[in-house]
Amino acid sequence: FWKLCEVQEPSLAVRKITLRSGHVAEIIREVPLVAAVRGFMNASACESMMGLVNKDELARAQVGTGGGGTSSSDSRETLTRNLFVDWDSDVVKTRVSVRMFDLASELLGEKIPYEGQEPINFLHYLPGYEYKPHTDGRGEALGKRVATTLVYCEAAEKGGATVFPVEGSKKVRFVPSAGDLLFFKYAPRPADTLHAACPVIQGPKSTFTQWYRMG
């Protein structure tokens, strides 16, 4: 996937749609859907969200090992922290989450419930860090993940693109700017949502990831 990271030109939108929020979603791939919203989070909101994270207290990211266990892995070179949302509070974290969920619901075509979800996963990449190809879920059963959003509050100066290294015309290379959001759903072919965070060459890069579950 490293060739895709650096050689292929950034993927262009095949069409654009205006969402109820007024944001414009760039449809990069139709099936399974991959869409970008440029400038979803402004500099002030990103600064407030980043202020919730003490980078000195970040832990090495873990991967699932089956049976509910996790361990660190060279496939996921990043630092992380979970941010839990109190849906009854009126704070920036909750307001941002409501906007993300409502946008994801519109793109998914189904109302995603706020409650019973995973926390926001903050990921911080230093130069040399990457997240090798993986999928986030398969969406095949009630309560499983069905879609993902990434909000990039720090975009790497060089490297750090998000790529979908699948065969043929399904390949995607997304090069974000600070504040951009990337959405992708898993159905109808979860295997085609294989994606990776390209190595950061000159950084840093910071993202807020939200996985969405139905039921």
Reduce the DSSP state of residue 2 to 3 states and report it. Answer: helix
Whole-model pTM: value is 0.92
Instruction: Take residue 77 and report the two structure tokens written for it.
Output: 């070179």
Beta pairing class for 200-202 and 131-134 = unpaired
Element (H, E) at 100: helix 92-108
| Tens place of pLDDT per residue across the chain (215 aa) | 888 998 899 999 999 999 999 999 999 999 999 999 999 999 999 999 999 998 888 887 655 545 554 455 567 789 999 999 999 999 999 999 999 999 999 999 999 999 999 999 999 999 999 999 999 998 777 889 999 999 999 999 999 999 999 988 889 999 999 999 999 999 999 999 999 999 999 989 999 999 999 97
The total number of residues written for the chain in this structure: 215
Reduce the DSSP state of residue 48 to 3 states and report it. Answer: helix
